Structure 1
Amino acid sequence: MKIITALLLSTALAAPLAGLAATAHDHGSAVPQQLQLNAGKKWDTDAPLRQAMSAVRQSVAQILPAAHAGKATPADYDAFGQAIHQQVAYMVENCKLPAAADEQLHIVVAELMAGAEAAQGQHGEGERAAGVVRVAKAANAYGKHFSHQGWKALELPH
């Protein structure tokens, strides 16, 4: 993640992600980018990305049942959001993908960050559980578009 690594990290951690998703990833187009496969195949990954995304998946799997049942506390959501922020920071710092794969990963990162912010209550208390689901959907999208041996999609509530 060479091109906008510093910008992405500082902006993502310091500013609301809605603005980041609308400006940093659309490259001037009116419609947000959508994930695409690499000529019909999944994008290659590296060890730091796989490590970080495995940790993201584990964090989601731990909180999702409580969030779905309405039993997750604000402290649970805050810790979850912080864990996602930490994994994104690790990805940005350590992941080295080719430019085309990196562009696709930025779409996933934007969704991870938006979900983490919502889980932390930055979009209102009523959006915390939805933030967890947003992170889960981003993790599942990652699994559909990036090569990560052994990756298992998260089962989402109805």
Structure 2
Amino acid sequence: MKIKARQAAIPFALTTALLFCGVSLAADNAALHDHDHGDASFELQLDNGQKWAIDPPLRKAMNDINGAMRSSLEAIHQDRLSDEDYAALANQVNDGVAYMVANCELPPDADAQLHMVIAQLMAGSQKMTGDSDASARDGAVQVLGALDAYAQYFDHADFVPAAH
């Protein structure tokens, strides 16, 4: 029951944050990777050909999310995670997103790009909890795709997304 209350609050908070920032998602599956990451369709852009600068809270949050996904990667690939395990993983993603939203202080253009990654993290997290028609595994794959995109567009020098 505690999990369900938390899950309901996160999408509302994310929706409010995205509306406040005026972020729109564009349909371009090529922006992520060569293989399917669920419905992860958005178009990130570099900062005049360079990766976007990050701050320490963003570094911490993305390292935490990436670490959680790495620790479950083999079980995800082998389709061995239980619903409870996926829900716990989703909560770790939600906690990381909540921390970054509360603490990151990026310039507006970088923040707008980050919100596209956050939207994909949250959509994947929601799928992992069973709150959509997609499978929990599809949600995990979507989170992994968001981590790939983050690595490609943000200047987090030592960040290596979970290999999948």
Give the TM bin, normalised by the shorter chain: 0.7 to 0.9
Q: Would the aligned equivalents of 1:12 and 1:113 in 2 still touch at CA under 8 Å?
A: no
Residue deviations 1:49-104, cap 9 Å, x none? 00000001011111121122111011100000011111100001000000000000
Structure 2 residue aligned with 1:145: 153
Q: Does 1:120 align with 2:129?
A: yes
TM-score, normalized by length of structure 1?
0.80
Structure 2 residue aligned with 1:37: 46
Q: After TM superposition, which residue ranges in structure 1, 4 or more long, deviate above 3 angstroms?
A: 14-18, 20-24, 29-33
Identity among equivalent pairs (%): 35
Change (3 A) 1:33 1:128: closer
Find 1:96's aligned residue among 87, 96, 105: 105
Find 2:71's aligned residue among 47, 57, 62: 62
Distance 1:12 1:43 in 2: 29
TM-score, normalized by length of structure 2?
0.77
What is the number of equivalent residue pairs in this alignment? Answer: 144
Residue deviations 1:108-156, cap 9 Å, x none? 00000000000111114x5100101100110110011000121113211
- In the alignment, structure 2 segments of 5+ residues that lack a partner are 1-7, 29-40
Change (3 A) 1:15 1:38: same
Change (3 A) 1:98 1:21: closer
Distance 1:40 1:91 in 2: 24
Q: Would the aligned equivalents of 1:64 and 1:133 in 2 still touch at CA under 8 Å?
A: no
- In the alignment, structure 1 segments of 5+ residues that lack a partner are 1-10
Q: Does 1:83 align with 2:80?
A: no
Residue deviations 1:4-60, cap 9 Å, x none? xxxxxxx97144979x97995318x89875100000000000000000000010111
Computed over aligned residues only, the root mean square deviation of the Cα atoms, in angstroms, reads 3.0
Change (3 A) 1:35 1:133: same
Structure 1 residue aligned with 2:34: none
